[in-house]
Amino acid sequence: MNEATPLLDRLAGLRERVARLVEQRSADDPTATDPMRGLYLPEETIWRLLSVPPVPADPPEPAGRAAEDGPDGLNGSVGPDGSTGPVDRLDHLAQRLRLSELDTGILLIALAPDLDRTFEALYGYLNDDVSRRRATTGLALDLSGVPAHTAAGRARFHASAPLVSLGLLIVEEPERPFLSRSLRVPERVLAHLLGDDTADTVLDGTVRPLPYTGTESATGTGAATDPLVHLLAARLAAGPCTVYLREHREGDGLSCATAALGAAGIGALHLTPAAGEGPQGDQPPGERPPREPVPYAEVLREARLSGRAIVATSLPERPQELIRALSAADVTVVLAGTRPYDPQWCDSGARGGEPLVLDAPRQRAGNLAAWTAALGGSRGTGGAAGGTELGFDLTPVVAAYRLGDEGINRAARAALDLAAFDGTPLSAAHVRLAARQQSASGLEQHSRRIRPDVTWDDLVLPEKPLEQLHELAVRSRNRDRVLGDWRLSAGGGRGRGVLGLFAGGSGTGKTLSAEVVAAELGLDLYVVQLSSIVDKYVGETEKNLERIFTEADRTDAVLLFDEADAVFGKRSEVKDAHDRYANMESAYLLQRLESFDGIALLTTNLRGNIDEAFTRRLDLVIDFPFPDQPQRLALWRHSLKHVPCVDDIDPSVCARDFELAGGSIRSAVVTAAYAAAGRGESVSNADLLAGAQREYRKAGRLVLDELDW
């Protein structure tokens, strides 16, 4: 059997269907036997086409495929005037965009050939050209009863006219005489009028619909509790406007806009024009592929068709083009950025007018209501406050995350996916891991990330520093309430950061304590690499530090400056240019710490090396004392907890005779473990002794050859 046989059989079946269609159409066609058929249109053919009944409407969709109601209510059976039955989308669009009766008629004339193919032949006959099967400007005016020589009629096709400027009609062939230019309705407009609300494919990757929550669900979670959001919602509900939300932290504006639009009952499209600029930055300019321009006209058209607002974030470096392109008196546009608004961004005579400039409220950490709604709603349980239906206390788990409503929803979905992947019920560990994944950080360029894997049980410290570490975690969880709601911030643009200094000798547990605090908060720990900060060129060190602080402000993480003396050291008397520039670095740090919003920890071996001006700005200074004998014994036993040892192991002698800090004790245990592993045996007292003696020799201290066990 020939491999082409199945395909030839299919073509034979197609040929039969074509024959039946030819027979059907030629049954009442007087020109069916005319050899010139298709090259001209006789009058009898036109009258026959005019007698053809209209195209029947599509049958209703099967049950279960009804489109979801959107914020404009177009998919329901209730019209905008309250009447029941199918919605006349053309009439609804004309009312919303304030199109005149003439404009509505022209739009209908232009789209007719795309709905009923008989209009192609009719328009070809009326155009006196069988090849021109679309409406022309002259034909549209004739069918509308408007003389072609009137200025008012011809103005309906100008670039500034409503149909053209709103993107509803395209006047093609500008090289032709005015009256013979073809009219075409974009496919997206026609699809909308037919009930298809799928966004234009040209907007893929640039625009996505923001989740529409409606008025009731938008009040009570997230930023919707802020008074400014309620005022903004009232302004948005009053009519189209342009708003610029100045963000303190990236994401504040999107959270505020989403809450305000939801409270106002308005859907929105999220535009990120600069979202794709990052990856190209690593390529040389000559090798970067040309970036596609943002289709602002299509974005506006999509907003008009769907009756939604536009929310633009991730603004480009020069947002003038974006603001001018989106300036429209009939579309609500909300812009969000961290930079202060520049009046030069907007033309004084722009159609949308000068924007309303507002400071977006800060995203709060530990938004329990939003987390409960996201996790409980996703699981279909409704979610009880405090997470009682989740099987764990949600309050301390999410207390440190400043994600905003959208970030919380993403994290909740990711947490549920992780739990399903593990095949276990949702746990606090799933929520914390998912929340950390939402903080895409650029801190790793100048720091080393540590994913904490320790607990409070791994700390062997006196009672006082342990209490202070717990207090540090409490401050980190409740800073929004104390410094924000209770207005205990000192003012002057000061941030809501938490700053702590860990002072003590080497190996006393400072870095481990920072990791434990990060683990308690469910955050990653970033250890700043001083080699990537300090630069010999004037001003470069400050720039590197600014990058770190800026990234830390927008990231839920704990920042650790290990050996902070190198950066936060005391200022000295100016004797030469080097001293002056060194003092400038310290002055910059003093100013930057005032506005810091994150969590930063500093460690030093000598507390006296830290400038007193830095100390005043710290929330806590925790001293880590050198361990005494009972603490050293506890450290030896803790280090040996997971190590196979002989039955008579006794680290008390090493704890008594070797004054070692916790870090050195761990190193001694590691040395003993390697020695035992090399013999294939368990760790013995002799191994511990050898490890302790090794640490003493490393420190340059006298070692006794024998000990009394």
pLDDT in tens, 665-678: 999 999 999 999 99
- Which amino acid makes up residue 661? A
Name the residue with higher pLDDT: 573 or 73: 573
Tokens (6 digits) for 537: 């060129």
CA 453, CA 271: separation in Å to the nearest integer?
39
Cα dihedral 87, 88, 90, 96 sign: negative
Q: What is the mean pLDDT of residues 543-547?
A: 89
Q: What is the mean pLDDT of residues 255-284?
A: 75
**What's the confidence (pLDDT) of residue 247?**
92
**What's the confidence (pLDDT) of residue 368?**
85
Measured between its terminal Cα atoms, the distance across the chain in Å is 93
Q: What is the mean pLDDT of residues 82-91?
A: 71
Tokens (6 digits) for 574: 């100016």
Cα dihedral 359, 360, 361, 363 sign: negative
* The pLDDT of residue 218 is above 50: no
When pLDDT is cut at 50, 70 and 90, the band that residue 512 belongs to is very high
Rg (CA), the chain: 36
CA 535, CA 545: separation in Å to the nearest integer?
11
* The pLDDT of residue 60 is above 70: no
CATH class (in words) of the domain with range 456-624? alpha beta
**What's the confidence (pLDDT) of residue 608?**
82
Q: What percent of the chain has pLDDT over 90?
A: 47
Count of alpha carbons within 13 angstroms of residue 444, beta-carbon side: 7
CA-closest candidate to residue 186, choices 198, 200, 169: 169
- Which amino acid makes up residue 386? G
CA 379, CA 390: separation in Å to the nearest integer?
9
Cβ-contact 547, 588 below 8 angstroms: no
Tokens 């540590």 belong to which residue? 450
Cβ-contact 370, 398 below 8 angstroms: no
Cα dihedral 625, 626, 631, 636 sign: positive
* The pLDDT of residue 406 is above 50: yes
Cβ-contact 566, 533 below 8 angstroms: no
CA 369, CA 384: separation in Å to the nearest integer?
9
When mean pLDDT is compared over 62-71, 269-278, 402-411, the highest value belongs to 402-411
- The mean predicted confidence, pLDDT, of the chain is 83
Tokens 């961290």 belong to which residue? 338
When mean pLDDT is compared over 62-66, 77-81, 321-325, 330-334, the highest value belongs to 330-334
**What's the confidence (pLDDT) of residue 276?**
45
Residue 139 Ramachandran class (φ > 0 left, ψ -120 to 50 alpha, else beta): alpha
CA-closest candidate to residue 409, choices 213, 250, 142: 213
Cβ-contact 663, 629 below 8 angstroms: no
Residues contacting residue 2 through CB under 8 Å, at least 6 positions apart: none
Q: Which residues on neighbouring strands pair with residue 309, listed in sequence order?
A: 268
CA-closest candidate to residue 363, choices 338, 327, 394: 338
CA-closest candidate to residue 332, choices 398, 247, 235: 235
Tokens (6 digits) for 382: 């409704």
CA 649, CA 682: separation in Å to the nearest integer?
10
CA-closest candidate to residue 659, choices 681, 635, 685: 635
Q: Where are the alpha helices (DSSP H) in 71-160?
A: 89-97, 101-115, 118-126, 137-144, 151-154
Report the b/e string of 274-311 with b at 16+ CB within 10 A: beeeeeeeeeeeeeeeeeeebbbebbbbbbbbbbbbbb
Strands 183-184 and 170-171: antiparallel
Residues contacting residue 23 through CB under 8 Å, at least 6 positions apart: none
Q: Could you read off the pLDDT of 2-59 as tens digits, one per residue?
A: 677 776 677 777 778 767 766 776 677 676 666 665 666 677 777 766 776 665 555 5
CA 183, CA 157: separation in Å to the nearest integer?
9
**What's the confidence (pLDDT) of residue 328?**
85
- Which amino acid makes up residue 226? D
Residue 634 Ramachandran class (φ > 0 left, ψ -120 to 50 alpha, else beta): alpha
Q: Could you read off the pLDDT of 560-608 as tens digits, one per residue?
A: 998 888 788 776 665 555 566 667 777 888 888 888 889 999 999 988 8
Q: Phi, psi at residue 294, to the nearest 5°?
A: -70, 125
Report the b/e string of 43-76 with b at 16+ CB within 10 A: eebbebbeeeeeeeeeeeeeeeeeeeebbbebee
* Same fold yes or no, 201-275+296-359 and 456-624: yes
CA dist 288 → 42, 282, 284, 314, 316 (Å)? 58, 9, 6, 20, 17
**What's the confidence (pLDDT) of residue 574?**
59
CA 388, CA 288: separation in Å to the nearest integer?
52
Q: Read off the DSSP letter of residue 704.
A: -
When pLDDT is cut at 50, 70 and 90, the band that residue 380 belongs to is very low
* The pLDDT of residue 383 is above 50: no
Strands 309-312 and 242-246: unpaired
Domain chopping of the chain, boundaries: 39-50+84-197, 201-275+296-359, 368-438, 456-624, 629-698
When pLDDT is cut at 50, 70 and 90, the band that residue 1 belongs to is low
Q: What is the mean pLDDT of residues 343-356?
A: 75
Tokens (6 digits) for 91: 């009439």
Best CATH choice for the domain 629-698 from the list 2.102.10.10, 3.90.1150.10, 1.10.8.60, 1.10.3430.10: 1.10.8.60
CA 682, CA 176: separation in Å to the nearest integer?
95
**What's the confidence (pLDDT) of residue 58?**
54
Q: Could you read off the pLDDT of 600-632 as tens digits, one per residue?
A: 999 999 888 888 888 888 999 999 999 999 999
CA dist 508 → 423, 450, 620, 632, 661 (Å)? 41, 19, 17, 11, 6
Q: Could you count the other beta carbons within 10 Å of the beta carbon of residue 187?
A: 12
One DSSP character per residue, 591-602 reads HHHHT--SEEEE
- Which amino acid makes up residue 432? R
**What's the confidence (pLDDT) of residue 580?**
63
**What's the confidence (pLDDT) of residue 575?**
58
When pLDDT is cut at 50, 70 and 90, the band that residue 370 belongs to is confident
CA 169, CA 295: separation in Å to the nearest integer?
16
Q: What is the mean pLDDT of residues 457-474?
A: 95
CA 292, CA 177: separation in Å to the nearest integer?
33
Q: What is the mean pLDDT of residues 227-238?
A: 94
Q: Could you count the other beta carbons within 10 Å of the beta carbon of residue 154?
A: 18
Name the residue with higher pLDDT: 218 or 8: 8
When pLDDT is cut at 50, 70 and 90, the band that residue 348 belongs to is low
- Which amino acid makes up residue 484? G
Cα dihedral 168, 173, 176, 182 sign: negative
CA-closest candidate to residue 506, choices 695, 373, 670, 362: 695
When pLDDT is cut at 50, 70 and 90, the band that residue 76 belongs to is very low
Helices (H) and strands (E) in the chain, counts: 28, 14
CA 256, CA 135: separation in Å to the nearest integer?
46
When pLDDT is cut at 50, 70 and 90, the band that residue 527 belongs to is very high
Best CATH choice for the domain 39-50+84-197 from the list 1.10.10, 3.40.190, 1.10.1040, 2.40.30: 1.10.10
Q: What is the mean pLDDT of residues 169-174?
A: 95
**What's the confidence (pLDDT) of residue 85?**
55
CATH class (in words) of the domain with range 201-275+296-359? alpha beta
Q: Which helix (H) or strand (E) holds 643?
A: none
CA-closest candidate to residue 601, choices 704, 679, 502: 502
CA 54, CA 40: separation in Å to the nearest integer?
24
